[in-house]
Amino acid sequence: MARPIRFAIAATTLLAVAASSSAAQSAGNGYLFHSPDVTISVRGGYSRADARSDVFDDVTTNLTLDRGDFSSLSAGADLAVHVTSRADVVFAAGFSRASHKSEFRDLVDNNDLPIEQTTTFERIPLTANLRINLGTPGRSIGSLAWIPSRVVPYVGAGVGAMRYRFKQDGDFVNFNTNAVFPAVLDSDGWALVGQAMAGVDYNFSTQFGLSFDARYLHAKGELGSSFKGYEKIDLSGATATVGLLFRL
């Protein structure tokens, strides 16, 4: 939980620094009097993991975990470069991490104590997207002013890469001998990812606004030797966020 919060704080701090710098520059060169070239946004919300591959089937069957335990709070940031009045290229980064303690549902150790472990599932998608604005983002008045539209709905899609990690740390059972043993089962890597997105920007000033965003990521990744014999891990899921946007 702490890492997404630190990520959001750091991103918000960077946004505040950029805003302060831009405001200082705008006083002398008429910064506010042209259509923006770039929009930066910081997002926070909830990421739901599909968790549909066989490694999730096994851990939810044998351990006191549910598929919903692999969903978590999320944080993210976007850099949108305005190509035309209706199209943006959006570079996006996100972070979600779920970590839960569990025990075997039907087994105990020789002392009748629970056999416990901690399971962690982490995803960091990095994508490049084409965003299409379904409404005009704003309008110019003569050559001196640009006024944003109050509401701008959009859709988009993109591709990229995801850094992921699936880790279990604790005690486990050898089902052939019924022996209990400690282990750290850890697998991480990179996977190709596809993304679809839709949302609405609500602008409350020339520079600032809110973004209500929904995204679906589709990806599968290889599991390492700690999980030999399993199929690719399901990294797909949907994310809903609310963000603060700032135009440059």
DSSP 77-138: EEEEEE-SSSEEEEEEEEEEEEEEEEEEEEEE-TTS-EEEEEEEEEEEEEEEEEEEESS--E
| pLDDT above 70 as % of the chain | 85
The per-residue pLDDT for 135 is: 92
The per-residue pLDDT for 140 is: 79
CATH of the domain at 183: 2.40.160.20
Confidence band for 27, pLDDT divided at 50, 70 and 90: very low
pLDDT tens-digit map of 44-74:
999 999 999 999 999 999 999 999 999 999 9
The per-residue pLDDT for 3 is: 53
| pTM of the predicted structure, to 2 decimals | 0.85
Q: 226: domain range?
A: 2-247
Residue in the structure block whose two tokens are 């997105």:
197
Cα 236 from Cα 216, distance rounded (Å): 7
The per-residue pLDDT for 23 is: 39
Please give the tally of structural domains in the chain.
Answer: 1
Lowest mean pLDDT among 5-14, 112-121, 186-195, 203-212: 5-14
Lowest mean pLDDT among 41-45, 71-75, 83-87, 124-128: 83-87
